[in-house]
Amino acid sequence: MIAADPTARLLVTGGAGFIGSCYVRDVMARRDGTRITVLDKLTYAGNRANLAPVEADAEQAARFAFVRGDIADPAAVGPLVADADAVVNFAAESHVDRSILDPAAFLRTGVDGVHVLLEAVRRETERAAAGMRSRPPRLLQVSTDEVYGSVEDGFSREGDALAPRSPYAAAKAAGELLARSYHVTYGLDVVITRGSNTYGPYHHPEKLIPLFVTNALDDRPLPLYGDGMQVRDWLYVADHAAAIDHVLRRGTSGEVYNVPGSHHVPNRDVVAQLLAHLGKPWSLVRFVEDRPGHDRRYAMDGAKLALLGWTNRVAFADGLAATIDWFRANEAWWRAARSGEWDAYYERQYAGRLANADAAARATTGAEAEPADVAPGSPSAGTGA
Ligand code: NAD
Ligand code: DAU
């Protein structure tokens, strides 16, 4: 069992992305002997610089290896899984808006890629059964609350039906269902986590919080979709990474664990809080055309993970402050992330929306007013903890 082995060899796929790199940095910083190999394709979202703190530390670097490659490539995956005690799969295309613009890459990594990983784990499981290795590798598949679809009220539990509504969410649901099928059919040691909306340092600026922080720092408009009343449950990245490690080491094979956040609020409220922290005005906000099929609310019950002994540590106000401070201090990092293909993406995703919002504002009463029930910096407008 990995829990009892401080010298475990982990293969972390997608470990150069936002959550995966936090996982790698935090596990390596424990200095407990764990060895990690990262396999990452380095898509637009992957960034070797996210692993610089590990590679710059001699003791950690000696326990670390980086391989650039695709989880959908059996030749790259096979030997790495053969050398691993466990695989933690973060690799995915992760942005819902991009899945609406172009779903193909989501299916290739989220379905074909997961299948290739599972086949490699299956082969190693068979080798363990034949006495050719001491134990089979465990696979942790990182999934998402989006597989439950939009939850109008109440809190999703692990046994609830899956009802994904975007190509991203459907690919994630397919990946975890495949993983579970390999547990049932071939006896693979698989655990699955379903995390909620994660935020923190190194978050790619395409996502709500880092997009709005970096746009606000540049006094650029903030494109808020629809009425801004969609509810998300915000989870600090170090808490998400630690919960994944907890499930990897203590979770029961074949089980799914929700990883809820600690701040369950409408987007408007999050935006008001981040603007207050930045000292920027609400007038930067533009209400723009909604995301097609936009899920209104996500909310998960975390009782199963709590029973396993994990609860979050970071309150939203503290996590948001730390995140904004990090973005202020790491301007070179986020400017680099907003380069290359960024301008073309931004134009495709936002130019029409922002132009229409400006035209609508001129035609009526001006920009929408700041929500009366959400004073900047105030706590939640009242949807939950
Ligand atoms: P991210 O987009 O920041 O990082 C994804 C990483 O995977 C990148 O480094 C990318 O280069 C790599 N990658 C993509 N395709 C690959 C492939 N075919 N082979 C190898 N590497 C590949 O994503 P993130 O926000 O860090 O999310 C990580 C995981 O957590 C994803 O599986 C996502 O679905 C899940 N998740 C994310 C959140 C969130 O709020 N960000 C919440 C719940 C679950
Ligand atoms: O819930 C978990 C999911 O959280 C993860 O599985 C995904 O990988 C991750 O990207 C995130 O998905 P969301 O779609 O919820 O995150 P995003 O940051 O894109 O959007 C958060 C909310 O903000 C959502 O209601 C859409 C809204 N939004 C987003 C952007 C980028 C806006 O209003 N304007 C924007 O420009």
Q: pLDDT per position in the chain (385 positions), as tens?
A: 555 565 699 999 999 999 999 999 999 999 999 999 999 999 999 999 999 999 999 999 999 999 999 999 999 999 999 999 999 999 999 999 999 999 999 999 999 999 999 999 999 999 999 999 999 999 999 999 999 999 999 999 999 999 999 999 999 999 999 999 999 999 999 999 999 999 999 999 999 999 999 999 999 999 999 999 999 999 999 999 999 999 999 999 999 999 999 999 999 999 999 999 999 999 999 999 999 999 999 999 999 999 999 999 999 999 999 999 999 999 999 999 999 999 999 999 999 999 999 887 777 654 444 554 444 433 333 333 3
Tell me what pLDDT residue 385 has.
31
Instruction: Please give the distance, rounded to the nearest whole angstrom, from the Cα atom of residue 110 to the centre of ligand 1.
Output: 10
H or E, element range at 71 = none
Tell me what pLDDT residue 157 has.
98
- Is residue 347 part of the annotated active site? The answer reads no
Taking a C-beta distance cutoff of 8 angstroms, is the pair 208, 267 a contact? yes
Residue among 276, 170, 268, 164 nearest 224 (CA): 268
What is the spatial distance between Cα 274 and Cα 114, in angstroms, rounded to a whole number? 36
Atom of ligand 2 nearest to the CA of 350: 36
Tell me what pLDDT residue 361 has.
73
- Is residue 168 part of the annotated active site? The answer reads yes
E-only strand ranges, the chain: 9-13, 35-40, 64-68, 86-89, 138-144, 189-195, 198-199, 222-225, 231-233, 235-236, 256-259, 264-266, 285-288
Phi, psi of 280 (to 5 degrees): -110, 155
User: CA quadruple 369, 375, 377, 379: dihedral positive or negative?
Assistant: negative
- Active site residue: 40, 70, 145, 269, which one? 145
Q: Alpha carbon of 346 to those of 108, 353, 354: distances in Å? A: 23, 11, 11
Q: Is 298 in the pocket of ligand 2 (CB under 6 A)?
A: yes
DSSP 48: G
What is the spatial distance between Cα 290 and Cα 301, in angstroms, rounded to a whole number? 27
Instruction: Please give the distance, rounded to the nearest whole angstrom, from the Cα atom of residue 163 to the centre of ligand 1.
Output: 21
What is the spatial distance between Cα 53 and Cα 61, in angstroms, rounded to a whole number? 9
The number of beta carbons lying within 10 Å of the beta carbon of residue 266 is 22
- Active site residue: 168, 199, 236, 350, which one? 168
Atom of ligand 2 nearest to the CA of 146: 1
What is the spatial distance between Cα 362 and Cα 364, in angstroms, rounded to a whole number? 6
In 3-state terms, the chain is what percent helix, strand and coil (to 5)?
45, 15, 40
Instruction: Please give the distance, rounded to the nearest whole angstrom, from the Cα atom of residue 333 to the centre of ligand 1.
Output: 18
Ligand 1 pocket residues where CB is under 6 Å = 13-14, 16-20, 39-43, 45-46, 70-72, 90-94, 109, 113, 142, 144, 172, 195, 197-198, 204
Instruction: Please give the distance, rounded to the nearest whole angstrom, from the Cα atom of residue 215 to the centre of ligand 1.
Output: 23
Give the total residue count for the chain. Answer: 385
Residue among 187, 300, 178, 304 nearest 253 (CA): 187
- Is residue 245 part of the annotated active site? The answer reads no
Tell me what pLDDT residue 364 has.
66
Task: Give the 3-state secondary structure of residue 284.
Answer: helix
